[in-house]
Amino acid sequence: MDLSKTYDVLVIGGGNAALCAAIAAREAGASVLLAEHAPKAFRGGNSRHTRNLRAMHDAPTSVLTGAYTEEEYWDDLARVTGGKTDQRLARLAIRGSGALGTWMEARGVRFQPSLRGTLSLSRTNAFFLGGGKALMNAYYRRAEQLGVNILYDTEVLSLPLQQGSQQGSHQGSHQGPVREANLTCRGFPASVQAKAVVAASGGFQANIEWLKQYWGDAAENFLIRGTPYAQGRILKNLLDQGVAPVGDPTQFHAVAIDARAPRFDGGIVTRLDCIPFGIVVNRDGKRIYDEGQDVWPKRYAIWGRLVAQQPGQIAYSIADAKSETLFMPSVYPAMRANSIGELAVELGLDAAALEATVKAFNAAVRPGAFDSESLDNCTTAGIDPPKSHWARAIDTPPYFGYPLRPGITFTYLGVRVNEKAQVLLENGDPVGNLYAAGEIMAGNILGKGYLAGLGMTIGSVFGRIAGREAAQHAHH
């Protein structure tokens, strides 16, 4: 590959946002170089772990039921973010989501209807046939056919913002544009020139040292659900040069996952959905929070953080035979025993402490009509923390348990952008030829909370915008 020539567009990253940008730029006539830090076998970032994206539609489609209007989508987003969202950019993403299905199918992506266990999303979220890996393979195939130049094993280290004049800027007080990128390509240092650059390099959730700045040594016990290549190097480099930040740097989205998951890349199969059907104790055998507070997806996101706050960043979900078939298990088998004391030993907990906790919990359970599908009336009384729903005595062997750790999905810190996906400086000026898409700018829209399927929607819509705008800039 010729690294001495000047490309129209350099795309940094190899996940969904990067591929959407690269394809859009190439289809707009630009020469494109895509630099992916991961080797080919691990290409695709967190995007390869995904299953669906959230799309608005006014009538049923081949895979989506009913209608999901712009207003309902916006209401959902406003609720989960508590107003921490840029409405113009959010509505751009929502409106853009309506056209994604057709655009993606024309580029080789296939969809499937929701399957059992995901039916609650059948109206709002379109599922990728074969999951995120098949999606990424389809995009890479398309990019190769179009003639996008792809460099694997290539980490972009820095994007120096030049000091110079730029239309619309305050003379002397600004930075930009970007002329070159410094990188290591299969271990060798290099630099590459481009007329426009798209930063689509994800969040910094795999950078444990960075997480330690906010979480201290606890971060050593966090498991990262996705790619180890999400180091946030470009994010940091841009913020260090005066690019405007967006999103709370200390916050991340985390869920409770099986503690036996690998440090990185465990993906979706390590998630545990059993929490509402039993109790959760910390390493001292003590309950920590109301396990029956609410239904998925609300409960899904709070437990990662709760486990992160426990001593040793570990907790244990305990239940009995009555609940065994009510949830999607993790890829690891549950620990089982015929008594609570034996289960405690299996899990490495103090038997007397766990027996006392289960005994107190069972005594607090009030009679009710159990219904795993709704917020039922099975509750506890006289115990702290309470269990608001699905409270049933843990009394039917075999008993089972799973160890839990915080599984970090993504970080919220990003770079501020405008409607053209141009990266903005702290003074509000665009850098000019620098665009951003995906997780690195998702904090503009999702400043807090989570809405299932929104990450891929933001990456797809803004990836397309960034690619198109970058190509247009290069042609001028």
Ligand X SMILES: Cc1cc2nc3c(=O)[nH]c(=O)nc-3n(C[C@H](O)[C@H](O)[C@H](O)COP(=O)(O)OP(=O)(O)OC[C@H]3O[C@@H](n4cnc5c(N)ncnc54)[C@H](O)[C@@H]3O)c2cc1C
Point out which residues bind ligand X (CB under 6 A).
Answer: 12-18, 35-38, 45-47, 49-53, 155-156, 200-202, 225-227, 229-231, 233-234, 267-268, 409-410, 438-439, 453-456, 459
| Cβ-proximal residues to 213 (8 Å cutoff; 6+ apart), any chain | none
Cβ closer to ligand X: 409 or 433? 409
Cβ closer to ligand X: 46 or 175? 46
Cβ closer to ligand X: 361 or 402? 402
49, 268 contact by CB (below 8 A): yes
Cβ closer to ligand X: 13 or 292? 13
SS3 category, 442: helix
Place of tokens 């709002």: 124
**Measured between alpha carbons, how far is residue 236 from residues 2, 201, 293 in Å?**
28, 11, 37
Cβ closer to ligand X: 394 or 442? 442
DSSP structural state of residue 334? P
Cβ closer to ligand X: 425 or 451? 451
Residue 184: Cβ within 10 Å count: 15
Instruction: Give the C-alpha separation, 106 to 197, whole Å.
Output: 25
Q: Is 368 exposed, middle or buried (0-12, 13-18, 19+ CB in 10 A)?
A: middle
Residue 400 phi/psi, 5° resolution? -140, 160
DSSP structural state of residue 100? H
Which secondary structure element, helix H or strand E, spans residue 183, and what is its range?
Answer: strand 180-185
Instruction: Give the C-alpha separation, 351 to 363, whole Å.
Output: 18
Cβ closer to ligand X: 199 or 343? 199
DSSP states of 39-65: -GGG-SGGGGG--EEE--BSS--SS--
CB of 377 to ligand X, least distance (A): 32
Cβ closer to ligand X: 31 or 114? 114
CB of 454 to ligand X, least distance (A): 6
SS3 category, 240: helix
CB of 133 to ligand X, least distance (A): 11
CB of 224 to ligand X, least distance (A): 8
CB of 30 to ligand X, least distance (A): 19
CB of 118 to ligand X, least distance (A): 10
| Cβ-proximal residues to 241 (8 Å cutoff; 6+ apart), any chain | 160, 161, 175
Residue 342: Cβ within 10 Å count: 16
CB of 297 to ligand X, least distance (A): 11
CB of 18 to ligand X, least distance (A): 6
CB of 41 to ligand X, least distance (A): 12
Cβ closer to ligand X: 136 or 394? 136
313, 307 contact by CB (below 8 A): yes
